[in-house]
């Protein structure tokens, strides 16, 4: 699957960043059996953190773009955990998305779709996953979205 994933990312014009180092006392991923648990990846691009609060100063489209950035970070962590070898990745299992949003904002699922849609676009059916999308009153550093994931690997 490695070449297929790398090829698909290139077709989409996506270059994976280096896997982000932990910002506190935790590890970026833990493997238990054939499940790889990836710590929460915050919305971040080459310019830095993508901050905002959905329902206040950020709309759903911008939030979905921030969620896609989190999914890119998740794939970077998967690649690092697999020693750079995407052939070990079998499928996405579960995402939990946290959306920095106002009390009356109710479109968290539409925001997290940015990550879900991206994983399916890159991985095909292996990108389909179980998911939760929840509101958060605030997130670390004021980021718009944070997403953690579970992936099956060989």
pLDDT tens digits, 50-65: 999 999 999 999 999 9
120 vs 114: CA distance, rounded Å: 10
- Statement: residue 1 has pLDDT above 70: no
Output the pLDDT for position 66: 98
Which structural domain range is residue 113 located in?
2-153
Region 101-107 average pLDDT: 97
How many domains does the chain divide into?
A: 1
| Tokens encoding 20 | 């982000």
CATH of the domain at 50: 3.30.1330.40
Burial class (CB in 10 A: 0-12, 13-18, 19+), 69: buried
The structure's pTM equals 0.96
- Do 85 and 138 touch, CB atoms closer than 8 A? no
């Amino acid at each position: 699957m490695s070449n297929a994933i790398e090829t698909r990312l290139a077709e989409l014009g996506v270059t994976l960043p280096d896997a982000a180092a932990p910002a506190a006392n935790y590890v970026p991923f833990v493997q238990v059996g054939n499940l790889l648990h990836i710590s929460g990846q915050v919305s971040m691009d080459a310019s830095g953190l993508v901050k905002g609060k959905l329902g206040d100063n950020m709309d759903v489209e911008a939030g979905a773009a921030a969620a896609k950035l989190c999914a890119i970070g998740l794939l970077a962590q998967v690649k690092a955990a697999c020693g750079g070898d995407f052939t070990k990745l079998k499928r996405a299992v579960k995402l939990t998305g946290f959306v920095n949003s106002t009390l009356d904002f109710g479109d968290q699922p539409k925001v997290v779709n940015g990550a879900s849609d991206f994983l399916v676009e890159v991985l095909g059916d292996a990108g389909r996953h179980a998911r939760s999308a929840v509101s958060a009153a605030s997130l670390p550093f004021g980021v718009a979205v944070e997403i953690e994931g579970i992936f099956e690997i060989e």
